[in-house]
Structure 1
Amino acid sequence: MLYAVDHHRGSEEHQPGESHHDPALIDGSGAVDTFHEFRRNITEAGVDSAVIPIVAASAQLARFWRGGLAMVFIDGGHSLEAALTDYRAWAGHLRPGGILAIHDVFADPAEGGLAPFTIWQLASQSGLFEPLGTEGSLRGLMRITA
């Protein structure tokens, strides 16, 4: 099973007036709501039976999460605060041998934001992870110690 944790209110860049804002994602109250789009994508991919959506703030859920995880995929807000919050909230839940995958990792902020690169560096230098590889802007690390 894959648990997909997201508040579905969009990242900073999805808000009205920002670079990736999509007016079609505004709900009846005037707020960004990406949940309908998420469900449509999961259905189109044919993975409804394998994905359990959890609509919650990442750090809030992480405080109550029990049990180790085999993989954590961080693809959230691109502010340093948002990226650090996700990393600090979930990295400790990974079992040894578990994969930490971070999306939108660019060393040059002009290419897509520095915050994911910063948390990738933090994890790489922590002594808890070893780098696995890169595919485009996705970088993976393996948890090597509890």
Structure 2
Amino acid sequence: MVSFGLVSSLFDFVTFAGLALLIKAAPATFQTARFVGSLLTELAIVLIVRTRSCFWPSKPSRLLSFLTVATAVLAIAIPYAPFAGYFGFVPLPWPIMTGLLLITVLYLMASEITEHWFLRWDNRMHGRSYSRAKKK
């Protein structure tokens, strides 16, 4: 989990730096973007760690797929909802939302590479052959 934690922290820093230094986001925009970005990356990591094989050919269950997509849509929609102000959220400009989606995709890729590296290391440490293929 240390390896995944380091990758997650790196992407948190990238998100913070982009919002604070590049965009100079107002506090409400920063808070909203942090909420949306954090939720999207957490959903992404669920898809990675649920299987020892690559996440894209390994299909999640229908329930997991539905809940992941529904939660992502809800996370993106909440800042635009009438009650968003109650939470201190504001509508995010599309360039910020696009940046969050890009960071999430890059986080998925980095986490997949990290999982691949970790599984190879773990198998070597325990004297197992390495295979990401599904066991039958």
Do the two structures share a fold, i.e. TM-score over 0.5? no
Structure with greater Cα Rg: 2
Ranked by relative contact order (alpha carbons within 8 Å, sequence separation 6 or more), the top structure is: 2
Q: Return the TM-score normalized by structure 1.
A: 0.25
Higher strand share: 1
- Give the structure with the larger helix fraction: 2
Q: TM-score, normalised by structure 2?
A: 0.26
